[in-house]
């Protein structure tokens, strides 16, 4: 297949490009600068511009671009950047794809389980409504921005991603150095659920969304059994052979992270109902397997 990808230099994008090319697929990477290689196509999300000529022949587009949610303190300016990087980019792509004489058959657009907000200890699948707060509002607008592609008849799938277990990037990538130093511990009281997925399974799931014709709309990309932060802490310590004596009290997190602390301390027990029903098989369904895969 010929597949176009945004966010190709990020943690997920880099791994997805490598996986697809290893299997012989032709990958086109959308970049925000002048193309410097034959596999690059220019786009400018802020100006709503996409070089659709460079997408000719693409059967699928996987949209992963977006400012990191935990990369900076949530100032008003950075919150706007988080939103704009997702909504404007998705709208630009959706409108561009809809305008093509021969559009791609499928548009896999990134989203997040932040859509559901704090779910407490309630098992939550794709049928649940949006939650309340900044991240749920962003996710709602993010997914709505893909409407032009849907209206044009392009099969559109929203990959609602959980916490990706990887040592080289993302939120989990920041945990590994701390735990390796023996400074890891639970966050708050540790009772909040974390819905995780290994990097290997995340890439496999994205490819599954591309090729599984019956899948449209939201699909949760999380492992089957979410675990509490307390369980995550224990597994990290056991796999890395380090003590986990420290903990970060909730008030300290709020001082350090500001508004984002509410999401770190919040609980999301999200399950991949539609992914499992479509026949997807996890290589690392349990947290200990996901952490070991990231270490190996």
Each residue of 59-85: pLDDT tens digit? Answer: 999 999 998 887 788 899 999 999 999
Find the mean pLDDT for residues 235-240: 96
Q: In whole numbers, what is the pLDDT of the chain averaged over residues?
A: 94
Residue 264's pLDDT is what? 76
Residue 55's pLDDT is what? 96
Residue 282 pLDDT > 80, yes or no? yes
Q: Which tens digit of pLDDT belongs to each residue from 240-270?
A: 999 999 898 888 777 766 777 777 789 999 9
Instruction: Give, in order, the Cα–Cα distances in Å from 24 to each of 17, 20, 44, 126, 212.
Output: 11, 7, 28, 33, 19
In this prediction the pTM is 0.95
**How many percent of the chain have pLDDT more than 70?**
99
**How many percent of the chain have pLDDT more than 90?**
85
Residue 293 and residue 199 in contact, taking contact as beta carbons nearer than 8 Å: yes
**Distance from C-alpha of 52 to C-alpha of 68, rounded to nearest angstrom:** 26
Find the mean pLDDT for residues 2-24: 97
pLDDT band at 43 (very low <50, low <70, confident <90, very high): very high
Q: Look-up: residue for tokens 């392009």?
A: 154
Find the mean pLDDT for residues 130-141: 96
Please report, for the chain, how many H helices and E strands are present, in that order: 11, 14
Find the mean pLDDT for residues 52-62: 97
- Closest residue by Cα to residue 192 from 273, 274, 247: 247
Find the mean pLDDT for residues 143-168: 97
Q: Which tens digit of pLDDT belongs to each residue from 114-134?
A: 999 999 999 999 999 999 999
């Amino acid at each position: 297949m010929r597949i176009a990808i945004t966010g190709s230099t990020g943690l997920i994008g880099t791994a997805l490009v490598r996986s697809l090319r290893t299997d012989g697929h032709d990958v086109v990477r959308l970049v925000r600068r002048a193309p410097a290689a034959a596999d690059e196509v220019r786009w400018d999300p802020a100006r709503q511009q996409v070089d659709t000529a460079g997408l000719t022949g693409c059967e699928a587009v996987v949209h992963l671009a977006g400012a990191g949610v935990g990369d900076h303190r949530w100032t008003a300016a950075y919150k706007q950047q988080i939103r704009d990087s997702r909504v404007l980019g998705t709208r630009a792509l959706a409108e561009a794809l809809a305008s093509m004489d021969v559009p791609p058959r499928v548009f896999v657009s990134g989203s997040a389980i932040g859509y559901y907000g704090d779910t407490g200890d309630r098992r939550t699948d794709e049928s649940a409504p949006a939650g309340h707060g900044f991240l749920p509002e962003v996710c709602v607008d993010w997914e709505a921005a893909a409407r032009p592609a849907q209206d044009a008849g392009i099969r559109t799938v929203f990959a609602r991603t959980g916490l990706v277990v990887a040592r080289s990037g993302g939120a989990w990538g920041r945990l590994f150095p701390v735990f390796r130093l023996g400074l890891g511990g639970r966050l708050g009281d540790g009772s909040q659920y974390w819905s995780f997925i290994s990097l290997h399974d995340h890439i496999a799931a994205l490819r599954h969304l591309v090729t599984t014709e019956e899948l449209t709309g939201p699909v949760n990309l999380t492992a089957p059994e979410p675990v509490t932060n307390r369980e995550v802490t224990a597994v990290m310590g056991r796999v890395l052979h380090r003590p986990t004596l420290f903990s970060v009290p909730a008030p300290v997190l709020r001082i350090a992270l500001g508004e984002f602390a509410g999401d770190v301390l919040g609980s999301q027990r999200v399950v991949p109902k539609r992914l499992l029903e479509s026949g997807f098989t996890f290589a690392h369904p349990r947290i200990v397997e996901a952490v070991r895969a990231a270490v190996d």
